[in-house]
Structure 1
Amino acid sequence: MRLLYALERSDLVARAALGSVKDLFVLNLHRATAAIAQQFWRRVPYRYVGYVASLVPSWNSFIAALNPTSAHDDVAQTHATFLLGEKMHRRHDERLWARKKCLEKSGYHGEPGLIAHIRDCGQTLRDYVAATCPGRPLIFAPLHTVSDRIAAAVCSLGPAGRATVVSAYAADALGKDEMHSVALLGTKLDRLMVADLKAAEFRRRIKAVSEGRSHLVVFPDALPEFTSAMAGRPMRTRKIDIFKRPGRLHAGLEVLSKASKAVVVYFALYEARGCLRIDVLGSLNWDGIASSGASMIEEGIRRHWRFWLLWRCRSLFYMNPESP
């Protein structure tokens, strides 16, 4: 009986040891993989990584190729053709999003070329501000081109060195890629969900902007279709004309600009020969947003339609939910 007990005990010890060895192996493998990935993203120039990634078909494309009867989602192609008269490659939108992910990985791991180009974009933005609206409170209004996370990082390089992204996401939803990229730039960035904002906190944020201690970041081309889905309810919009059709845009940018007495600076990121660049589209006071904001957005999309990330959204600016 004692012998049987001893054998069972030794078997349990052996299994535990084997499990520990297996867990240790998995842990070391994970660490090694992470270290290799870190060196890869840090050392390989982002322009090459993104280009190669954009050429590799996704799993969905592979499945679609095997099944000729499967319907291909050509929403992006249809929108680009209908609104701009531009012919978009059937995989252009997919490639754009693949490149976006690579850019954000390169930024997270601190690829020197990308960090340098982000700084260059920030300097261009500061130069524009110094030339057109020095000393004024600022709201940066980047379009959804190339990468919203990279655009937010560029905004953090504004004169105040600190920015708050107004978002449909929760306040704690700032991605680790975004946080790490901003830390490498030596600036500060946080996220603000206006729908859940208390009055006292709203006044505090507006005061910080009006005093020049921080900037707001508002994506002016955010689509009602997307933000309504994220918030779980329709959000306040206003009527506009864009691409020669009646549509709707969020009214929040105008409200925030009026409350903080801030100038709104519109810009779009794009790429030229694989390098990140910025196109500052112009600036508006709060009382010019209603009349000229939509045309500023349209001009930015027309100039940089190849880098606009929202072509896949079905309604674009033409979703008309009931406004509260």
Structure 2
Amino acid sequence: MLSLRVGHRLPYSMSDSNTTDFTNPSTFVLLGVPSLEEAYVWISIPFCAMYAIAVLGNVTTLFMVKREPSLHKPMYYFLSMLAATDLVLSTSILPKTLSIFWFNSREISFSACLTQMFFLHCFTVIESGIFVAMAFDRYVAICHPLRHSTILTNRMMAKIGLAVVLRGGVLVLPFSLLAQRWPYCRTNVIAHSYCRHIAVVTLACADIQVSSYYSIFVLFFVISLDLLFIALSYSHILRALFSLPSKEAWLKAFGTCSSHLCAFLVFYIPDVFSTVIHRFCHNVPLHVLILIDNVHFLLPPMLHPIIYGMRTKKIRDMLLRVFTLKRS
């Protein structure tokens, strides 16, 4: 168990803090977005707007699926799981980021930092698993429509949901356990606005190759496995679509997949872009990297409800009905 003792309070300058000696701080200091401190209020406006849209959209999605019996189907259950995951993801980072922007509240306790790290990475893996489950649902609906209700029963849905959550928890838990083991003896200043795994463990004065290699393993394991399953599902879906007799039938069947494909791309493209920037673009300023990281965790939760609201007829009809009742 990591022994926690309060060390010297460090200034927020990385260059100064690197010369300070202490052992295992009870708190970390989040750097925020360096060199943009004077623009914090302006930066917080789009961040706050994106978060508000994300919360409103995802809460509305959950409310509609719960309230409307016609939406009690596998596709909308998975959509509810996606909405709940997006709420956790955006809420795990933005309140603390806004507290830095508005109140200069940079301190975060060691346990809170590890908790934030766990939820952030765990629910990222869970969300990726939900997209795999949604692709499987579309595969069954299009390739085996007569068996859809017998294959994706409530019992099967519960098993899939549990498997997705357990996979995320099991894969990500070692991040926090390993980070808890390392001694931190040079600086407690995290060069980020939230407790990103690699930003925390690089502060340890120990050989962190285990943490580094394991994070790379999880990244490639999750991405490669999930993309493989999604690609296989859609290869079968496309084969079934091309066998349909008319263009109208093709468009109608493909329309049921378009929302999933858009939401999938909105989730993966910013994630891949952020990963590539971090791994290969070493000349990018730190504040640009931090802003990209924050936006890539806020953009999908904001856009997913909009995508499903625009592309799914039942959700559009439900929204129109709700607003009509409120006006009358």
The two structures have a TM-score, normalised by structure 1, of 0.23
Which protein is richer in helix relative to its size? 2
Tell which has more relative contact order, 1 or 2 (C-alpha 8 A, sep 6+): 2
Largest Rg, 1 or 2: 1
Which protein is richer in strand relative to its size? 1
The two structures have a TM-score, normalised by structure 2, of 0.23
